[in-house]
């Protein structure tokens, strides 16, 4: 078995220098790091992770806990987290939980000793009152959650601003009667998007018909059901704004089945700008969210807390959104 001494001899450095390289010390020069890594590769040496953890009290692994990971944007989120973590010499441990409350506590605490820090994405309001949960001995970053009682970083999407921007765009196109397909009841993103819709209806003096707010759960089936309800009850909106693209795509299918043409008969818009949005027929106008950037920024915050815990000050950040106009809203495209 190849030893660390042999790697040091081959790389012409001290054993301590080799140890610093494999422990991802920032004190190592890049040239030394490359020389040690080349020597280890040629000799077939791999450091013993468990032994390193005992010495450094670090696993060089960050945990990612996703509660109910439904939706096509999760791959982009994980890609952003993984790219940033790997660049800093960290691995990922990804777990999922579909329950809140005590079950989520159990999953969180099971990561103790396995990870150096945790990125938690829970869409419901549980995290806001779970201050005791985060006394785990490592830093936690919340994604798309209400601000928590605990002192930890949190990042979210500009849901409210993105919704208001879309409503203003639809109003500029002449729409006054705009239906809204809501997301899940306990979902924080959903609540913020609904808040933006209601604020825009008031501010822009649009039709305030309670029937124009339709239930949804972020699934294609919910969007299809909402659109069918709109047609069956003859609600006659001139535009339909769904709280996510999956529901908007479901609505497009239902309107097409009912013989309605989008955007001639009514406009349709969504939120998230998932890859499928641009390939829909017609291509879907949406609010773009850079989920890869969200993952990158969350990982940066977590690794910053690990690198300089005494100097790190938790804060809340918001990732901005942008309006992407396509054919489904009826706007003239340049």
Q: Over the stretch 14-29, which tens digit does the pLDDT of each residue have?
A: 988 888 887 767 778 8
Q: Which sequence spans correspond to the domains of the chain?
A: 61-157+291-319, 159-289+323-329
Predicted confidence at residue 324, as pLDDT, reads 97
Q: Which two tokens stand for residue 32?
A: 């030394």
- State residue 66 phi and psi, 5-degree precision: -110, 120
Containing 51, the helix (H) or strand (E) segment is: helix 49-56
- Provide the CATH number for the domain formed by 159-289+323-329 in this structure: 3.40.50.2300
Classify domain 61-157+291-319 at the CATH topology level: Rossmann fold (3.40.50)
Q: Which two tokens stand for residue 161?
A: 């601003």
pTM of the predicted structure, to 2 decimals: 0.78
What SS3 state is found at 323? strand
Mean pLDDT score of the chain: 85
Give residue 75's pLDDT band: very low, low, confident or very high (50, 70, 90): confident
Domains 61-157+291-319 and 159-289+323-329 share a fold: yes
The closest of 318, 305, 278, 326 to 118, measured between CA atoms, is 305
Whether 102 shows a pLDDT value over 50: the answer reads: no
Whether 42 shows a pLDDT value over 90: the answer reads: no
């Amino acid at each position: 078995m190849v030893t660390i001494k042999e790697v040091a001899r081959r790389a012409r450095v001290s054993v301590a220098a080799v140890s610093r390289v494999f422990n991802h010390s920032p004190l190592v020069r890049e040239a030394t790091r490359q020389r040690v890594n080349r020597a280890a590769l040629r000799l077939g040496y791999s450091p013993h992770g468990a032994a390193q953890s005992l010495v450094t009290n670090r696993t060089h692994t960050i945990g990612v806990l996703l509660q109910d990971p439904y939706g096509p944007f999760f791959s982009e989120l994980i890609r952003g987290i993984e790219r940033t973590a790997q660049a800093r010499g960290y691995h990922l441990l990804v777990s999922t939980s579909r329950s809140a409350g005590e079950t989520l506590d159990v999953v969180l605490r099971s990561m103790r000793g396995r990870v150096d820090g945790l990125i938690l994405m829970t869409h419901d309001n549980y995290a806001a009152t779970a201050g005791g949960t985060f006394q785990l001995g490592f830093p936690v970053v919340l994604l798309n959650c209400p601000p928590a009682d605990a002192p930890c970083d949190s990042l979210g999407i500009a849901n409210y601003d993105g919704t208001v921007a879309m409503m203003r765009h639809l109003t500029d196109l002449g729409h006054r009667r705009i239906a809204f397909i809501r997301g899940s009841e306990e979902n924080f993103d959903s609540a913020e998007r609904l808040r933006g819709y209601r604020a825009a209806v008031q501010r822009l003096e649009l039709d305030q018909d309670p029937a124009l707010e339709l239930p949804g759960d972020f699934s294609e089936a919910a969007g299809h059901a909402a659109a069918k309800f709109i047609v069956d009850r003859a609600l006659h909106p001139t535009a339909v704004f769904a709280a996510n693209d999956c529901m908007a795509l479901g609505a497009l299918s239902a309107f097409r089945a009912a013989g309605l043409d989008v955007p001639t008969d009514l406009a349709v818009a969504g939120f998230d700008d998932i890859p499928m949005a641009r390939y829909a027929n017609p291509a879907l106008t949406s609010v773009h969210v850079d989920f890869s950037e969200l993952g990158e920024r969350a990982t940066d915050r977590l690794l910053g807390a690990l690198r300089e815990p005494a100097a790190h000050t938790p804060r809340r950040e918001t990732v901005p959104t942008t309006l992407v106009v396509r054919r489904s809203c009826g706007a003239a495209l340049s």
